[in-house]
Amino acid sequence: SQEFENIRVRDEEIVELVKLKGRKKIVPIDIKGGVENREGKVNLLLQAYISCAQIDSFTLVSDTNYVSQSAGRILRSLFELSLRNGWPELADLTLLYCKAVDRRLWPSQHPLRQLSTIVPQEILNKLEQRSLTVERLEEMDEAEIGRAMTNQRMGNTVKRALSYLPYFELTASVQPITRTIIRLSLRIRAAFTWSDKQHGVSEPMWVWVEDSDGQRIVHSEHYLFQKKMMEEEQTLIFTIPVSDHTSSQYYVQFISDRWLGCDYTTSFALSESILPGEEAPHTDLLPLRPLPVEAVGREEYEQLLRRKFTHFNPVQTQAFHTLYRTDHNVLLGAPTGSGKTVAAELSMFRVFSVRPDTKVVYIAPLKALVRERVEDWGKKLAPALGKKLVQLTGDFTPDIRALNAADIIIATPEKWDGISRSWRQRSYVRKVSLIILDEIHLLGADRGPILEVLVSRMRFIAANSGYPIRFVGLSTALANAHDIADWLGVTESGLFNFRPSVRPVPIEVHIQGFPGKHYCPRMASMNKPAYASIVTHSPSKPVLVFVSSRRQTRLTAMDLMQLCEQDGAGSRFLRMSSEELAPLLDSVRDTSLQHTLAYGIGLHHAGLIDSDKELVERLFVEGKIQILVSTSTLAWGVNFPAHLVVVKGTEYYDGKTKRYVDYPITDVLQMMGRAGRPQFDNLGKAVILVQDAKKSFYRKFLYEPFPVESSLMHCLHDHINAEIATGSIKKKRDALDYITWTYFFRRLLKNPAYYNLDEASDASVLAYLTDLVDDTLSELEEAGCILVDDDEEKVGGDGREMDGREVEVQATPLGRIASFYYLQYKTVGVFHEELKKATTFEDLLAVLAEAAEFDELPVRHNEDKLNATLASTCRYSVDANSFDSPHVKANLLLQAHLSRLDLPVADYVTDTKSVLDQTVRVVQAMIDICADKGKHYLATLAILLQQCIAQRRWHDDDTLMMIPSIGEEGAKKLRQAGIVGVGHFLALPDSERAEVARRAGVKVAEKEVQRYPLAMLRASVKGVTITANRNGEVSVKAGEEIQIHIGIERRGPGAKAPARHLSSVPAFTPGLAKSKDEGWYVLAADEKEGEVKALKRLTAGTEAKTGLSFLAPTSPCRQHITILLMSDCYVGLDQQLSLRIHVQP
């Protein structure tokens, strides 16, 4: 190596060099050519360094230090070079000697020498003399080791040292995606003792997959195994290309980067997997003459279409007849930018013309897509055609009257799934005649199972209810379109699956690779090439730059600005005057965005407030700024085509696995699809910047779409539970039939190995599905969601008992609560167990944070440190060992919310919003579970928790502080003036309330007071009226049903606002991001027993009536029943009535 060209062999060193060479323990590898030359000297000094030899000559000591330092770097570079070129033997060898140099230990020496601070030198020598390998020592007990060492005490020492060697158990499983691509899952379980002194905070490992001949590495990556991963099995998943030879054997190497002797291997054979068959070809684009918009034959439709174009494009022309002239189901697969939205509109026009009294449902898997459709159709299509449109997402939930009156419903999958579960009771669901499924290729993504279930349910409704429903699926080009078509009920006449190359604007793709195993430095190295790509390919046209995180949007934009300044063209991306820009910058809230906009560069991510987002979007669309740096989610959201798209990095940080993982290919294609504007460009350009090891993968598979697989199997429990709760599944056989309606069932038959099925025979499939249903029902039963009438000894594989009677299943209250509130079965299972132990507000908050709905809360890179800092300011302590847990983060965010603390970063504001979005229904479910258990104290405490979250107040805060202008000091003064709480204060006449506040020296804004209501509670039982001033007493017979008639009248300051005809009133909830209506809980409880007898939740306008009923005890006694009215959003407005019941025989 040229690094050693300055090494000289001096005459005075020859004697010592020759002496060292003659000692085989120091120089075990023969040096050819002697030590009189530079190469021989370097070789000897490196061996002497590894052997920890004592060197006398000062110059040799100096040269040894230089050689050892340089050798470590050179060996590392050779190792990286071997990995990059896919040479397994050389990679293995170079990594081995990297560790040898670092550890100063020969690979042939005993691995326990790496723990010489624990095991004495004498014992290490004996281990080597007696050839006691690590494997043999593992099999021996302490006494046997002690006898072998002739030192009984050393048995324990050696065993302890052995436990520190990083030992892992590996299991590899294969899921074929296509005949040349597999998904490999490597399950890793640690089987050693972690010591901070020996292992630090993490153990770096190398993973690579090599072919059977050991000639080629097909995949490699660096993996950090952290201390917190010790407790649970870890799973690594990667997609790798393989040769189409079913006999191929592959080996997975899992090798420590630091420890010698800690190399582990497992293997898998493709011959053990059933590879999927070849997929059907794509639809050819026919050379048809473009149809004019007049082909629709209706003036109102023509006017809508003519605003966009005069002729349909080739894709729309080819599908026009099927979409507009027939009622056939359609699956349209075409690249982004092919005009699929117009195809959806044509199918809607067909419904409006033929079945005008029915409804259209448009389902998009992302809220951004829903917003885009609402914005477009709500302003143009619906008003022009006289149609009513409603939005149905987590942010907007219209009432039943609006849904009944709507002609077009635009929804997310979760919302429509929740609504369609009760289709028998909801007439507007049965009035649906067209369902448009946008981006249906996302079936395989995280939210795919929900889309799959709701489509399967709607098809079931259409097949069994006599209400025909047309399905129109829109997608990018699909590899297995026939499977999705079969599932949607699409025939050959309705299937259009065009090639990815069929785009109105062709796209030119450039892929550039970048070295480096660490994410952040690699991203930084991409900024200059990204800037060069913009200057080269799109110096004056719009550019979209996609990055993986909000932080990367800021860092990328800052670097682009700096590069502009270096070029002496600071405003090259800005297309407006400073006079026009100045007021816009003043209106921007985000400081980073303010800075970047001045250079013509916009930022777009979920952390921006809506006004900032809208401003950036408008400026980019109008061409006032040339560059928009955005997180990848924008690719699925608003349609902002650009001339050039730069995908800066194809990885993102996955909070679940705590590592960087690759985007799905569909996401990369979606980002690329934004390149090329049909109105302005003849050619779009995309630049993909990737890690160099992945360059060949993307070059090969970017235009070879993967088949869409189902992920329903992993979350089947919640959907089976929902169908049992609604009565659609009553027997085990019903559950088996239910699965046959799903997309999962179709792919199971086509690609059985992907779903871990060995063969696709009828018997094997039946056995597989039976086991799947059995496991699902068993786990639901274990969680308390269902009851199964199942005697294992009597049940056959088809779901029938041996005597011919079918196995029946029925929902429990927990199962119905999970279905009604759209919760995961794990959540109600956790609540069912943990609420048994909960006694305080702190306990309830901790149980709430354990809900499975918070599993997806992102814990980003280094956020565990932010969580630790936040925990130090929070009221209640959390597990200090789990600051990287999403549940601990949810707990901290809720505490910070109640304490009104400033959050450490802007991301936490967005995260808090997502936590609160989930919290409302999760707490409501908790209240119902407490009531179902009959726990009066816990039920009222859970309602108090809901009130506190809505008002951002703690349970022991003065209730007067709910009124914002009063504050803590004002509350103290009002207390001193004789006010006992907010209910007392609001009940005062306006003039008296103002006078009390004036005398107390507290300024109270009357407009704030007007927000709050007072609800007057009254009840009657057997003709006896009960009010706040009058207790009730009745006599009933043992076991008789007691019916309490409840009346609620909304009074107080806030009652002036609503008209009497209103059935609901918007609530003032400063603690919630979404608006909600005022709601009230009415419950009856036995004070002595602490038992809830009945509970109801209702939405009251100016007045409401309801009833509670429960059974009297079966033996004579006296009962004291408390009737309690509690708001679901206001603190301190609770009311209580008292009823005494004399139970007679």
**Positive or negative: CA dihedral 498, 500, 501, 506:** positive
What pLDDT was estimated at residue 242? 77
The sheet that has 1014-1021: what strands, in order across it?
1024-1026, 1014-1021, 1041-1051, 1103-1111
Instruction: Count Cβ atoms within 10 A of the Cβ of residue 288 and give its class: 0-12 exposed, 13-18 middle, 19 or more buried.
Output: exposed
Distance CA 359, CA 379 (A): 19
Confidence of residue 398 (pLDDT cuts 50, 70, 90): low
Whether 870 shows a pLDDT value over 90: the answer reads yes
DSSP SS3 for 571? coil
What pLDDT was estimated at residue 943? 95
Distance CA 274, CA 277 (A): 9
* Range from 20-34, 92-106, 235-249, 503-517 carrying the lowest mean pLDDT: 235-249
The sheet that has 644-648: what strands, in order across it?
507-514, 684-691, 644-648, 543-547, 627-631, 601-604
Residue 205's beta-bridge partner residues? 223, 256
What pLDDT was estimated at residue 335? 83
Distance CA 132, CA 110 (A): 9
What pLDDT was estimated at residue 919? 92
Kind of pairing between the strands at 1014-1021 and 1041-1051 = antiparallel
More confidently predicted of 398 and 460: 460
> Residue 380 has what DSSP assignment?
I
What pLDDT was estimated at residue 1057? 43
CA distances to 143, 535, 572, 573, 884 from 540, rounded to whole Å, are 79, 8, 8, 8, 44
What pLDDT was estimated at residue 838? 85
Whether 614 shows a pLDDT value over 80: the answer reads yes
Kind of pairing between the strands at 470-475 and 432-437 = parallel
Residue 1109's beta-bridge partner residues? 1043
Confidence of residue 1059 (pLDDT cuts 50, 70, 90): very low
Kind of pairing between the strands at 507-514 and 495-497 = unpaired
Q: Which residue has the tokens 């025979």?
A: 761
* 881-886 mean pLDDT: 88
Residue 1037's beta-bridge partner residues? 1144
Confidence of residue 793 (pLDDT cuts 50, 70, 90): very low
Confidence of residue 804 (pLDDT cuts 50, 70, 90): very low
More confidently predicted of 793 and 1075: 1075
What pLDDT was estimated at residue 691? 86
Whether 806 shows a pLDDT value over 80: the answer reads no
More confidently predicted of 276 and 96: 96
What pLDDT was estimated at residue 1131? 92
**CB–CB of 928/817 below 8 Å?**
yes
More confidently predicted of 21 and 96: 96
What pLDDT was estimated at residue 273? 62
* 661-682 mean pLDDT: 80
Whether 823 shows a pLDDT value over 80: the answer reads yes
Whether 546 shows a pLDDT value over 90: the answer reads yes
Residue 1026's beta-bridge partner residues? 1019
> Residue 149 has what DSSP assignment?
T
What pLDDT was estimated at residue 86? 87
Confidence of residue 794 (pLDDT cuts 50, 70, 90): very low
Average pLDDT of every residue of the chain: 86
Q: Nearest 5 degrees, angle CA 376-CA 381-CA 386?
A: 140
Whether 311 shows a pLDDT value over 50: the answer reads yes
DSSP string, 799-833: SBBTTSPBPEEEE-HHHHHHHHTT--HHHHHHHHH
Q: 428-448, pLDDT tens digit by residue? A: 888 889 999 998 888 887 788
Kind of pairing between the strands at 786-789 and 808-811 = antiparallel
More confidently predicted of 429 and 531: 531
The 3-class secondary structure across 604-633, one letter per residue, is ECCCCCHHHHHHHHHHHHCCCECEEEEEHH
* 679-690 mean pLDDT: 86
Confidence of residue 600 (pLDDT cuts 50, 70, 90): very high
Of the ranges 502-506, 922-926, 993-997, 1013-1017, the best mean pLDDT one: 922-926
More confidently predicted of 418 and 877: 877
Whether 27 shows a pLDDT value over 90: the answer reads no
Whether 842 shows a pLDDT value over 50: the answer reads yes
Distance CA 886, CA 857 (A): 5
* 729-738 mean pLDDT: 91
What pLDDT was estimated at residue 567? 85
* 716-737 mean pLDDT: 91
Nearest residue to 416 via CA among 481, 499, 482, 359 = 359
What pLDDT was estimated at residue 1062? 47
Kind of pairing between the strands at 651-654 and 659-662 = antiparallel
What pLDDT was estimated at residue 1088? 83
